[in-house]
C-alpha cells in the first residue's frame, strides 16, 4: 500500500489512533517547505502530514512554496497525496459543509512558481495533465465518503484563483460560465507539481462558504472559520477511513 501524505491544516495531525513518530525539518533546492513534515503511523501504515499554510497558519495562498512542499514530501517517502482544501461553493449543490472530490481543475492563478522543469534542462519535459487527479485515489475518497454517509459530490470542477482576496460576484459568474463548481486558492500548482513528481494526487474539498453573489450580504471570515470548525471532523473521519483501508 502507498505511503500517504496529507496536505492541509495542522489540525489534521489529530486523527484518533494516529501515533506521531517524528518531525522532519528539511531544506530543498526550492527553499523551505511551509512547515516541518510530521511523520506518524495509523493502522500500521506510515503517514506524512504537512501544514500547507505553515504552523501557525500564516502563509497566504499565493505565497505558499508549493514546489518545496511537494519536493520535501517526495523526499520524505510519500507515494500518494491526499490534499484537503477549503473552497467556496458555486454550484447549487455545493452548500456549506458539503464535501466534494473534484475530477477537474481550471487554473486562474498567475505568477506562482508552477513547475520543476525549468532552468538549465537537458531536455524539455511536458507531463500529461488531461486528468489532473489520480482516479484510483479519487475512488478511495469516494468510497470512504459513502461509508461515512456524508453529503458529498463525486465530481466537480475546481477553479483555482490567485487570492488572497475572495472573488467578486462577477468573477464567480465567469467561473460558473466556464463550468466550475467550486472555487479555492490552493489547488494549483500543487496538483501539477505532484504530477511532475509522479505522486498520485487527489483532493478532498470542504465547502466553507457560498461563493460571492450566491447569497445576499458579504462573506465573513467568522462564517468561514465556523464552517471549517464544523466540517473538519467529517474530513478527519474520511481520511481515517482511507488510511485504514
Confirm whether residue 53 is marked as ligand binding: yes
Confirm whether residue 94 is marked as ligand binding: no
In this structure, what C-alpha cell is assigned to residue 70? 511537494
Confirm whether residue 91 is marked as ligand binding: no
Confirm whether residue 185 is marked as ligand binding: yes
**Rg (alpha carbons) of the chain, rounded to whole number:** 17
| Burial bucket for residue 123 (CB in 10 Å: 0-12, 13-18, 19+) | exposed
Confirm whether residue 211 is marked as ligand binding: yes
Return the closest-CA partner of residue 184 out of 2, 3, 7, 4.
7
Q: Whose grid coordinates read 465567469?
A: 174
Confirm whether residue 188 is marked as ligand binding: no
Distance CA 26, CA 5 (A): 16
Return the closest-CA partner of residue 66 out of 235, 165, 185, 224.
185
Binding residues for substrate: 185, 209-211
Binding residues for phosphate: 10, 52-53, 186
Binding residues: 10, 52-53, 185-186, 209-211
Amino acid at each position: 500500500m502507498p505511503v500517504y501524505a496529507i496536505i492541509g491544516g495542522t489540525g489534521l495531525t489529530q486523527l484518533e489512533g494516529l501515533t506521531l513518530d517524528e518531525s522532519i525539518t528539511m531544506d530543498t533546492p526550492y527553499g523551505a517547505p511551509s512547515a516541518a513534515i510530521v511523520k506518524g503511523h495509523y493502522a500500521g501504515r506510515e503517514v506524512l502530514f504537512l501544514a500547507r499554510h505553515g504552523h501557525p497558519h500564516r502563509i497566504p495562498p499565493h505565497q505558499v512554496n508549493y514546489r518545496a512542499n511537494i519536493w520535501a514530501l517526495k523526499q520524505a517517502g510519500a507515494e500518494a497525496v491526499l490534499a484537503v482544501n477549503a473552497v467556496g461553493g458555486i454550484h447549487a449543490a455545493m452548500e456549506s459543509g458539503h464535501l466534494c472530490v473534484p475530477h477537474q481543475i481550471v487554473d486562474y492563478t498567475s505568477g506562482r512558481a508552477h513547475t520543476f522543469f525549468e532552468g538549465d534542462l537537458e531536455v524539455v519535459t511536458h507531463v500529461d495533465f488531461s486528468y489532473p487527479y489520480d482516479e484510483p485515489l479519487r475512488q478511495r475518497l469516494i468510497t470512504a465518503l459513502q461509508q461515512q454517509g456524508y453529503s458529498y459530490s463525486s465530481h466537480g470542477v475546481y477553479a483555482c484563483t490567485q487570492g488572497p482576496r475572495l472573488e467578486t460576484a462577477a468573477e464567480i459568474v465567469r467561473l460558473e460560465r466556464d463550468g466550475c463548481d467550486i472555487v479555492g486558492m490552493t489547488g494549483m500548482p500543487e496538483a501539477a507539481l505532484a504530477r511532475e513528481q509522479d505522486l498520485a494526487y487527489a483532493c478532498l474539498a470542504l465547502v466553507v462558504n457560498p461563493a460571492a453573489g450566491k447569497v445576499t450580504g458579504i462573506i465573513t471570515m467568522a462564517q468561514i472559520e465556523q464552517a471549517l470548525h464544523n466540517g473538519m471532523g467529517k474530513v478527519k473521519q474520511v481520511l481515517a477511513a482511507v488510511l485504514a483501508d
